[in-house]
Amino acid sequence: MTSQIASARAHTNIALIKYWGKKDQQLMLPMNGSLSLTLDHFYTDTTVEFNSIYTEDTFYLDQKKIETTKITPFLDLVRQMNPQVGFARIYSSNHVPNAAGLASSASAFAALALAASTAAGLNLTRRELSRLARRGSGSATRSIYGGFVEWQPGTSDLDSYAIPIDEKVDWDIEMLAVIIDRQQKKISSRTGMQRVVTTSPYYPAWITSTNQDLSAAIQAVKEHNLQLLGQLAESNALRMHALNLSARPPFSYFEPASLVAMEIIEKLRSEGICCYYTLDAGPNVKVICSKAESPQIIRALSTAFTPEQIVEAFPGPGVKLIEC
């Protein structure tokens, strides 16, 4: 019996300029570049053990055995790089305050990429890890790095990866997550984004405007310009959700409570507080703001949401190996 084991921790990331559509579904090549912030509070720990006695891959999430079709094709990519390793047992735990809500495939596949490749004896560079993580979930491409991260779309497997823009964020930025629903998404991101690519008449305009947003947002990060970054992130998110409404059949991730949170943020802004929101493939609202102003924003959100629904998060680190 030969056993090879490794554990890794990866943090989730929230896109400020979104990835929403693929040009190659198999290689997971995105239509456009994106920009995200990796967060400290939300992460996944994953242990991978390849063992010659195993006869199949088995996946445990938070100590429960889970049937999924996503793990084996991903581990097959690792086995292609080292055909000596056999099947694996994978143990993952998601660390998010109050369980679920923000658990993300980004942290899951970034942690799996590092744990599995290390257990298989491969010593991948961060760029190679980013390319590997991409094959599990697009947003995982960016969770290899900490802080602000750009995913360059590329044209092939070789040149579609993330690069760090500002890994050790030393300026005043924070993200408040308003947890509205912990349920599974109504429409998976995979299905939703593909539907807009094939049916929304606005899709070409999305690509043009997102490319412009991306360059401006990278510049805003470099200049530590929170207001400009927030403006760009909010309008980019609203355009992504407008694509969903313009698809056939149309769909939306908003819940009534999402609109309540968005209105609170807009009102605070009209009172001179620098805060902006973004939403992904679900109803939760994430607020971009400064640490200095977050107490006032939390107070305003508390008129409509419980303390458990409002979670503070700060820039977090990239993927790393941890003790098994």
Residues that bind ligand PMV in the complex, under the rule CB under 6 A: 15, 18-20, 34, 105, 137-139, 189-190, 280-281
Record the tokens describing residue 141, joined without a space: 């491409």
Closest by Cα among 92, 158, 133 to 149? 133
Residue with smaller CB distance to ligand PMV, 120 or 218: 218
Q: Are 287 and 175 in contact (CB under 8 A)?
A: yes
Q: Which is nearer to ligand PMV, 49 or 147 (CB)?
A: 147
The CB-of-156 to ligand PMV minimum distance in angstroms stands at: 19
Q: Which residues contact 183 (CB under 8 A, 6 or more apart)?
A: none
Minimum distance, C-beta of residue 280 to ligand PMV, in the bound complex (Å): 4
Helix (H, G, I), strand (E, B) or coil at 9: strand
Q: How far is the CB of 135 from ligand PMV (least distance, A)?
A: 11
Task: Give the shortest CB-103-to-ligand PMV separation in angstroms.
Answer: 11
CB burial of residue 299 (10 Å; 0-12, 13-18, 19+): exposed
Q: How far is the CB of 106 from ligand PMV (least distance, A)?
A: 6
Of the two residues 18 and 79, which places its CB atom closer to ligand PMV in the complex?
18
* Pick 20 or 305: Cβ nearer ligand PMV: 20
Bridge partners of 93? 45
Q: Which is nearer to ligand PMV, 20 or 161 (CB)?
A: 20
CB closer to ligand PMV out of 47 and 141: 141
Spatial contact of 176 and 297, defined as CB atoms under 8 Å apart: yes
Contact 83, 50 (CB under 8 A): no
> Shortest gap between Cβ of 32 and ligand PMV (angstroms)?
10
Q: Give the CA distances from residue 11 to residues 73, 158, 179, in Å, rounded to whole numbers and listed in that order.
A: 22, 24, 18
Nearest approach, Cβ of residue 242 and ligand PMV (Å) = 13
Comparing CA positions, the residue from 45, 74, 73 lying closest to residue 61 is: 45
Decide the pairing of beta strands 64-66 and 161-166. unpaired
| Closest to ligand PMV by CB, 6 or 29 | 29
